[in-house]
Amino acid sequence: MQSVWYLYAFAILSIIHVAAEFLSDPMRIRIRHTTKPLLMPFLILYSYFHTEEPHWWIIGGLFLGWIGDVVLMFPKIAVMFLVGLASFLIGHGLFIWAFLESTGMLAGLPTWYYGLSILFAALVVGFYLYFSPHLVGENADKKVPVALYATIIMGMSFTSLGIVLLGSQAHRVVFTALPFAGSLFFIASDFLLARQLFIKPFSKDQALIMLTYLLAQYLIAQGYLPAP
């Protein structure tokens, strides 16, 4: 299928983008700013053309991820940070809605699955408590956004786990484990990003943040598509 070439382009650009983080400035910045705006468009094109029935909630989530990618290239501009955060929040919300549709709004799942919501709620609290001491000074106004973001990424993981448990009964999901795996990579990526922003950067952090982020987006998209 010709659509797979969009996936190859996404993969090649992803490798270049992540590898560039090991270079020195200004080459690193130049490659980052060239490749980052192209990553999600190629994954969106692959998601659209690789199936006769594109999943619009998934494509919408990828599109909002692209907006977030672009505006967060300028994190020191306060409005850009807020726009990027809102884009990812809404995008994750679209993913959650897609997962809920795929599980019939979590119908037919075992009772113990709903009990796991306590565990995911505890993870939200743990995420917030970990970063809360560092949300002071110029970051004091980010306490609510961090709590909201932690809630929605854990909600995304919780609802995608329902797809795994339903297996072949999940509506329109081809590879039922992939969305949940993608959600775990999203949690890892967002944790690392928050640590970079609110605590302190660590060696090659941006490479690891982008690697986990790109894997997350790809796995969620591929879960709703036939094999490449």
The answer to whether residue 198 sits within a structural domain is yes
Average of pLDDT values for 10-39?
96
pLDDT at 190: 95
The answer to whether residue 228 sits within a structural domain is no
Q: Is 76 a residue whose pLDDT tops 80?
A: no
Which residues are CB-contacts of 137 (< 8 A; sequence separation ≥ 6)?
Answer: none
Q: Is 6 a residue whose pLDDT tops 90?
A: yes
d(CA 104, CA 49): 26
The answer to whether residue 54 sits within a structural domain is yes
The answer to whether residue 45 sits within a structural domain is yes
pLDDT tens for 55-66 read: 999 999 999 999
pLDDT at 74: 82
pLDDT tens for 136-179 read: 998 898 899 999 999 999 999 999 999 999 999 999 999 999 99
The answer to whether residue 187 sits within a structural domain is yes
The answer to whether residue 16 sits within a structural domain is yes
48 burial type by CB count under 10 A (0-12 exposed, 13-18 middle, 19+ buried): middle
Which residue range is the domain that position 63 belongs to? 4-223
The percent of residues above 90 in pLDDT, for the chain, comes to 87
| Cβ atoms of residues 56 and 81 within 8 Å | no
Q: Determine what percent of the chain falls in helix, strand and coil, rounding each to the nearest 5.
A: 80, 0, 20
At CA 218, angle to CA 217 and CA 223, rounded to 5? 105
| Cβ atoms of residues 13 and 39 within 8 Å | yes
**Number of folded domains that form the chain:** 1
pLDDT at 73: 87
